[in-house]
Structure 1
């Protein structure tokens, strides 16, 4: 079984969540590849049975070029101005054997109860482009846009990864 986990991270928080999810997914019979969206393959490699996609929630959805530029001017890690998960998903050709898909995002705790989520938006894009069946969506929380992650979120991400792995067993 093979999982491709693609993430977009500007401050390192979403990357940390992705790595924790991968730890939870990792079993003896599962190969997990974690890649930054800028290095994500297109088309999806053959044999991927689970695609996990995650990014930060910007303006109640997935990032856009303008919100990535704004993050960069606020001190985000360089190199993320170009492609985000929105553009990567939109550019993927529909796979011959669509995998199961799980989406996640990082969100600021202050907007926990507000509508809008990069994970839900990514799930809709997956369905629109026939990239697979969305089987799970989750949000993980940061204190503010720069972070840090709220206490306990990395363990919750590992547990979510274990839950995803158990679906595949």
Structure 2
């Protein structure tokens, strides 16, 4: 796995975006939950694309995840999936390395809908990883009457994620071409 999209998703929104990014990237990119993106998987990746939902202008915390468990959307009821470790905890286990990465978040419109990708970027940069692109935000609504996973995603966000995945693949291809020895 050359490219791994790692995500935390409580309501399926960030998962849908991660999967769309992996589809857009192509070339065997995979979207994995935090428990599947083990240190050995990360060690084999050339590019990490890491995403999480925005909670209180930052990464989800244990307290915000617990709060999310009390919310139910639609009927018969969509409950928060907290069965995987948080991105916050996953980032604590990422070893230092010189690896390329990109960060994304799912959040509401406006200033309160940002902060998770910035926290991901800060942590990975501190570990020696190199960002290849500015972080991206994919927009979600505050409420939905639907019990379907990813129901909070605003229309068109998955398509934007596919396009961003395609763009990241182009950036990585250009980087590989630049790093390859030139042959006459």
Indicate the TM-score class for this superposition, using the shorter chain for normalisation. Answer: 0.7 to 0.9
Cα deviation, residue 161, structure 1: 0.4
- The TM-score, its normalising length taken from structure 1, stands at 0.86
Cα distance in 1 between the residues matched to 2:81 and 2:44: 32
Higher relative strand content: 1
Relative to the length of structure 2, the TM-score reads 0.79
Q: CA RMSD in A?
A: 1.9
Pairing 1:83–2:80 present: no
Residues 42 and 48 in structure 2, CA contact (< 8 A), matched pair in contact too: no
Match of 2:171 in 1: 167
From the superposition, tell whether residues 53 and 87 of structure 1 become closer, same or farther in structure 2 (CA, over 3 Å). same
Report the CA distance shift for 1:22/1:145 in structure 2 as closer, same or farther (over 3 A): farther
Number of the residue aligned with 2:63: 66
Question: Which structure has the larger Rg over C-alpha atoms?
Answer: 2
1:31 is paired with a residue whose SS is coil
In 1, the alpha carbon distance for the partners of 2:157 and 2:136 equals 11
Which residue in the other structure is 2:120 paired with? 122
Q: CA–CA distance in 1 between the matches of 2:106 and 2:19?
A: 13
Aligned length: 160
> Unpaired runs of 5+ in structure 1?
none
- Correspondences of 1:12-161 after superposition (within 5 Å): 12-26=12-26, 30-75=27-72, 76-80=79-83, 83-95=85-97, 98-109=98-109, 112-114=110-112, 116-130=114-128, 132-136=129-133, 137-144=135-142, 147-161=151-165
2:7–2:14 Cα contact (<8 Å) kept:
yes
